[in-house]
Structure 1
Amino acid sequence: MRAEALALDLDGTLVDSAPDIAAALAHALRAEHLDARFDLPTVRGWVGDGPDALIRRALAARGVTDPHPTLLRRLRSHFDKATLAAPLAHGTVFEGIEAVMGELARSLPLVVVTNKPTPLARAVLASAGLLPHCAAVMGADRPELRKPAPAMLLAACELCGVLPSRLLMVGDGPADVRAAAAAGCLMALAGWGYGGVEEPGPAVWRLQVPRQLLALLPPRAPTASH
């Protein structure tokens, strides 16, 4: 595999942020007197398509299938404020991610490509200590950017100065796999993440641990012996 740049998903790939997402969602619902409690596995299954989709799924589970746009805007505002106030108070960085990103960033540009809005993504990455390793952070700040659309991956290619066939998308969900296919990028599936990809296809590199990404680094020159 000849990747010259990496696009990294955030939630479920770099950080186990589902506990924080669940806390922000609960805060937003309480703020609007919508007392609905969802367990962590349920919320984890809703993660991956951004906060607007998350909020709609929570409302649908509560029986609200046609929410008023004003309610959606208020819930999103509450969610964003709660996330920015405590970006990673309950979640953690997946084991091995920080060390691997540090090594990779010395040789390859790393761009975070996430369906989380950019300000929230940057806050989480900063709290996780991962932001210094990132050449850029691209969030789905408009609906048309949201994965599985290829727009953010193509923008990452342009930013890094590489062809799509030389950009490796590393993610854990169906939207990541489909976005990579739509953009013509390489794809690696993070087996430690939230999953939900049943048949990723033969072209997808299945990762068991983050350190497998170090295979992308060029071989080191042998040390001269005396």
Structure 2
Amino acid sequence: MVHAGQRVDAIVFDMDGTLIESHSVVPAAYRAAVLGGGGRPLTDAEVIAGYPLGPPGALLTHLLGRPATDRDLEGYHTHLATLAGQVTVYPGVSELLGRLAGAMPVALFTGASRRAAEILLDRVGLLGHFAVVVGGDEVARPKPDPAGVDLACELLGVAPRRAAYVGDSPLDLRAARDSGALAVAAAWGHQYDPAAPADVTADIPADLLALTA
């Protein structure tokens, strides 16, 4: 649980599994892009297993068995945009982001590409809440490396030790802790593991308001 007195100066959010539920849409877009690039049919599980490899370029290279081209990436983003209407926002997230407006700067760092993040966030009406959006294609190493959290904080003008990074997966929490940010576990997310070390746990999005108190 987040307690009053743990105030931070900024909050950085993960996207998938923290703000939005896109667990069926993203693998479907990858599967379609791989088929369009001449690859073999894949299962969702095969796509998801490659997520730790990094942003779309790295994952498509793995799934295709050859270097991904700009055309492959364009195909992935096109399929993602087509399917984005199926994405849902976790209950309470929109209300939380609205209440954070004006209270502190808010950023997003996701392992997805910046373009993918903007496609999905725009479709569900959340994009305008973020002063900064950092994609996994804008840093050299994927989570749990803290580079993305560090960059988001730098762009906000806030030291990581004065920020919180909110995510549902163990990789999110490791990235937060290695950056020096407050590692906040989003217990509503589909990759949440209660055994993964976190500084605090938020059971529902509204719990994060305690960080502004």
Q: Distance in 2 between matches of 1:167 and 1:87?
A: 33
Per-residue CA shift, 1:191-210, capped at 9, x if unaligned? 12131646322x52122211
What's the CA shift for 1:142? 4.1
Pick aligned residue for 1:15 from 9, 17, 20: 20
What's the CA shift for 1:188? 0.6
Is residue 208 from structure 1 mapped to residue 213 from structure 2 by the alignment? no
Is the contact made by 1:87 and 1:123 (CA closer than 8 Å) also made in structure 2?
Answer: no
C-alpha RMSD over aligned residues: 2.4
Pick aligned residue for 2:88 from 85, 92, 105: 92
Q: 1:179 to 1:134 in 2, by over 3 A?
A: same
What's the CA shift for 1:47? 4.3
Is residue 27 from structure 1 mapped to residue 32 from structure 2 by the alignment? yes
What's the CA shift for 1:76? 3.2
TM score, norm. by length of structure 2:
0.84
What's the CA shift for 1:139? 0.9
Q: 1:16 to 1:54 in 2, by over 3 A?
A: farther
Tell me which residue corresponds to 2:153: 157
Q: 1:178 to 1:105 in 2, by over 3 A?
A: same
TM score, norm. by length of structure 1:
0.80
Query: Comparing 48-57 with 143-152, which one deviates more in the overlay?
Result: 48-57
Tell me which residue corresponds to 1:223: none
Per-residue CA shift, 1:166-217, capped at 9, x if unaligned? 100001112211211221110111112131646322x521222111111122
Per-residue CA shift, 1:66-101, capped at 9, x if unaligned? x222xx335433212222x32622221111100101
What's the CA shift for 1:15? 0.6
Tell me which residue corresponds to 1:221: none
Q: Report the residue type matching 1:214 in the other structure.
A: L
Q: Distance in 1 between matches of 2:89 and 2:100?
A: 17
Is the contact made by 1:45 and 1:194 (CA closer than 8 Å) also made in structure 2?
Answer: no
Is the contact made by 1:87 and 1:124 (CA closer than 8 Å) also made in structure 2?
Answer: no
Is the contact made by 1:18 and 1:47 (CA closer than 8 Å) also made in structure 2?
Answer: no
Is residue 168 from structure 1 mapped to residue 173 from structure 2 by the alignment? no
Is the contact made by 2:186 and 2:192 (CA closer than 8 Å) also made in structure 1?
Answer: no
Query: Comparing 12-21 with 27-36, which one deviates more in the overlay?
Result: 27-36
Tell me which residue corresponds to 1:76: 73
Is residue 181 from structure 1 mapped to residue 186 from structure 2 by the alignment? no
What's the CA shift for 1:7? 0.5
Q: Distance in 2 between matches of 1:125 and 1:79?
A: 16
- Structure 1 residue runs without a partner (length 5+): 219-226
Larger gyration radius, structure 1 or structure 2: 1
- The SS at the match of 1:7 is strand
Per-residue CA shift, 1:22-48, capped at 9, x if unaligned? 221121122134342424x66556546
Q: Distance in 1 between matches of 2:18 and 2:51?
A: 11
- The SS at the match of 1:12 is coil
Q: 1:104 to 1:143 in 2, by over 3 A?
A: closer
- The SS at the match of 1:137 is strand
Count of aligned pairs between the two proteins: 206
What's the CA shift for 1:146? 2.7
- The SS at the match of 2:140 is helix
